[in-house]
Structure 1
Amino acid sequence: MNTTYKIGFSFILALLVIPAQAADINAGKNRSSACMGCHGGNGVSNSSLFPSLAGQSRAYLETQLKHFRSGERSNATMNAMAKDLKDADIQNLAAYYSGLPGKSAGGDASLARAGKDKAAMCMGCHGNELQGNGQFPKLAGQHPEYISKQLADFKNGSRKAGQMNAIAKTLSEDDIKALAEYAGSLKTP
């Protein structure tokens, strides 16, 4: 075995053996104090203006915080909050919030029934109970008003996410309201 090969092989082996730094849930909890005013003390927002973070996937939360930090996703408050977060902070916050139990926000029962019939188009990415799926957020239990606003923003292009922009353009205002009420009415794990 030549020396270059041995060094390269040793380096690759070392990368495989060295464990990745695990997220620190307690550090995430401590860091979350700045988030509580909007997203609630247990990650369940009390305001329809802000999403609940409890039970969202780590992958989704990490991606969104990085997008806010870089300015790729635009929201003046979140851009300011995320601009100084280090990768470890983002990982810790995501680990903390992903481990919290969610809560149903409720929803208008008759509109929720109509929304259930329309939700099949959402399930491929967001899961069969809209519980989220990796990089795709949990919609179950979110405030219907928040979901409605996000869908309207995707529809008018002020929020960018290729496939969501295309899907939202096919939705009427009534469709958006019904889907939002259905998502809000779902129980979350």
Structure 2
Amino acid sequence: MNTTYKIGFSLVLALLLFPARAADIGAGKARASACMGCHGSAGVSNSGMFPSLAGQSSAYLETQLKHFRAGERANATMNAMAKDLKDADIQNLAAYYAGLPGKSAGGDANLARTGQEKAAMCMGCHGNNLQGNGQFPKLAGQHPEYTGKQLTDFKSGARKAGQMNAIAKTLSEDDIKALAEYIGSLKNP
């Protein structure tokens, strides 16, 4: 038996013995009861301090929950909430929130017009309407306060994410405010 054949056979055998597990949205909804105080009963936060999770991609949500669980993304509350989550819990939560409809947070119309001019730099990763793109989160409709804080944290280095740190360093406080208002004003289907 040649090496290529052995590797291929081993991969097929592994896939048959360990099939991918589909997410259980019902289990995710049940587990999400602990999240509702901050992220809202339907994944839409009522507070500008916390992000809305409704409609985010499951890939993005899974990645962030794993970062919180591992302590790679620092937030005392989220680190504590995620520390005991198993991979299946994370997958179920992500599937539940990804399937919920989002809602626009709104934003100051005057600042939003200014922010729209700056948003082109965001579209390469986050999509033309800032609706997200795989591992890159949906920004559309997020609370301006939350978005502004995240951009400020990226700028200062308090939140680490390579290219986001570099981009945020180019933004003034006024740019951050305008972008956050524009992002909040976008429709979030």
Instruction: Using structure 2 for the length normalisation, give the TM-score.
Output: 0.95
Q: Which stretch shows the higher mean deviation, 10-19 or 126-135?
A: 10-19
The AA in structure 1 aligned to 2:82 is A
Aligned residue pairs, count: 188
Q: Which residue of 2 aligns with 1:99?
A: 99
Structure 1 unaligned segments of length 5 or more: list them: none
Aligned equivalent of 1:177: 177
- Which residue does the alignment assign to 1:186? 186
- The Cα offsets for residues 138-180 of structure 1, whole Å up to 9 and x where unpaired, read as 1100000100000000011100011001000000001000000
Shift of 1:107: 0.3
Deviations 1:100-145 (A, max 9, x none): 0000000000111111111000000011011011111111000001
Match of residue 50 from structure 1: 50
Aligned residues: CA RMSD: 1.6
- Which residue identity is paired with 1:14? L
Q: Which amino acid aligns with 1:145?
A: E
Name 2:120's counterpart in structure 1: 120
Q: Distance in 2 between matches of 1:182 and 1:126?
A: 14
d(CA) in 1 for partners of 2:53, 2:175: 24
After superposition, residues 9-158 of structure 1 pair within 5 angstroms as 9-17=8-16, 19-158=19-158
1:170/1:20 CA distance change after superposition, 3 Å: same
User: Which amino acid in 2 is paired with 1:87?
Assistant: D
CA distance in structure 2 between the aligned counterparts of 1:176 and 1:59, rounded to whole angstroms: 26
The CA deviation at 1:13 is: 1.8
How has the CA–CA distance of structure 1 residues 122 and 8 changed in structure 2, closer, same or farther, with 3 Å as cutoff? closer
1:72-126 deviation per Cα after TM superposition (whole angstroms, max 9, x unaligned): 0000000000000000000000000000000000000011111111100000001
Decide whether aligned partners of structure 1 residues 130 and 8 sit closer, same or farther in structure 2, where only a CA change above 3 A counts.
closer
CA shift for structure 1 position 188: 1.1
Runs (4+) off by over 6 Å = 4-7
**Residue aligned with 1:52, SS:** coil
User: What TM-score, normalized by structure 1, do the two folds share?
Assistant: 0.95
Give per-residue Cα distances to partners, 1:9-49, cap 9 Å, x unaligned. 54322234453110100000000000000000000000000
Q: Deviations over 1:49-88 (max 9, x none)?
A: 0000000001100000000000000000000000000000
C-alpha deviation, 1:5, in angstroms: 8.1
CA distance in 2, matches of 1:52, 1:12: 39
